[in-house]
Structure 1
Amino acid sequence: MLNIFARASVSRVTDPIGARLVKIGLTPNAMTVIGTLGAVLGSVWFFPRNELLTGTFVVWGFAMLDLLDGAMARAKGTGTKFGGVLDSSCDRIADGVLGASVVWWCAVVAHNDVLTAAALICLVSGQVISYVKARAEASGLHADVGIVERAERLIITLVGTGLVGLGVPYALHVALWLLAVLSVITIFQRLVAVWQSAQKEAQ
């Protein structure tokens, strides 16, 4: 949802940066891999060590690089099918590792079973949300709906971890349970959209 409203404003900032990066020889695929590796390493290094605030800023910073690969592709004048698959695959890797690192913190560092359950729901549902859309599109159907897409999931999760890192109690509880509920709703929304799309195609 946020992507729809923010895309134009973000592009005005990222497109000039993307054009400059292309001029110095970087490729969109290289930027995708750099952003993913940074987010993965930041997640597995800082969150299990209970360095939530640092981990939040590191993961957020590298996640922002994901905005630049699209800007770089536009600067080059075209994207590639491989680049699209690589970008989507790297997004799933980064999201999965971040979710798993949050689960680890909840279970091993915080020793909180209820919070661990919320984190597991967020981890699984986040992957399912993306899978439903990808599977639908592969079948020629539409599932581009939902109240929490990747941007919202990252924001809610990292706001929660960042606030806990700043010493705000129960911030992650609120963030994860909110995200868990919204993610389940989003799965339902996308499945309904796929069903409606299939019904229209059958007519």
Structure 2
Amino acid sequence: MLNIFARASVSRVTDPIGAALVRIGLTPNGMTVIGTAGAVGFALWLFPAGHLLAGTFVVWGFVMLDLLDGAMARARGGGTKFGGVLDSVCDRIADGALMAGIAWYAFEVADRRPLAAAALICLVLGQVISYIKARAEASGLSANVGLVERAERLIIALVGTGLQGLGVPYAVDVALWLLVAGSAITVGQRLVAVRQSAAAEAT
């Protein structure tokens, strides 16, 4: 949902940066891989070690690089089909690593199995949300709706870990259970949208 409203404003900031990065020889695909590798590595290092505040800022920084690969592609005159697939795959990997890191923290540091369960449910639902849209589009249908898309999932999860790192008790628990509810609603919204799209196509 945030993607729809924020894309134009964000592009005004990222497009000049993307153009500058292209001029110095970086490629959109290279930026995608760098951002994903950093997000995955630090999510699986800092969160399981209990460094929630540091993990929040570092992982957020690498996730933000995902905005730059699109800006760089636009600066080069448009992206490639391979670049689009690579970006989507890397998004799923980074999202999975974030939730895996939080689940690992819940098991090893906090010793809170309900929190670990919430993280694992979020991991699965996040992948399903993305898969529904991809599968629908591959079938020529539409599923471009949802209360909680990737931007919302990242914001909610990382606000929770950040507040927990600042000493707010159970902040990450509240954030992830809210995310479970929002993600479940989004799965339902997308399935309904696909059904409606298929019905409209059949008439």
The 5 A counterparts of 1:92-171 are 92-171=92-171
TM-score between both structures, scaled by the size of structure 1: 0.99
Cα distance in 2 between the residues matched to 1:81 and 1:185: 30
Q: How big is each residue's C-alpha offset from its partner over 1:77-100, in whole Å with a ceiling of 9 and x where there is no partner?
A: 111000000000000000011111
In the TM superposition, structure 1's runs of 4+ consecutive aligned residues that sit over 2 Å from their partners are none
The 5 A counterparts of 1:1-203 are 1-203=1-203
Cα distance in 2 between the residues matched to 1:23 and 1:120: 41
Gaps of 5+ in 1: none
Cα distance in 1 between the residues matched to 2:186 and 2:202: 24
**C-alpha displacement at 1:133, in angstroms?**
0.5
Cα distance in 1 between the residues matched to 2:123 and 2:108: 16
Cα-Cα RMSD:
0.6
Q: How big is each residue's C-alpha offset from its partner over 1:63-120, in whole Å with a ceiling of 9 and x where there is no partner?
A: 0000000000110111100000000000000001111111111122111121122112
Cα distance in 2 between the residues matched to 1:117 and 1:62: 25
**C-alpha displacement at 1:128, in angstroms?**
0.5
The residue type equivalent to 2:8 in the other structure is A
Cα distance in 1 between the residues matched to 2:51 and 2:75: 37
Identity %: 75
Cα distance in 2 between the residues matched to 1:26 and 1:113: 43
Q: How big is each residue's C-alpha offset from its partner over 1:109-168, in whole Å with a ceiling of 9 and x where there is no partner?
A: 111121122112111101100010111111111101001100000000000001111111
**C-alpha displacement at 1:4, in angstroms?**
0.5
TM-score between both structures, scaled by the size of structure 2: 0.99
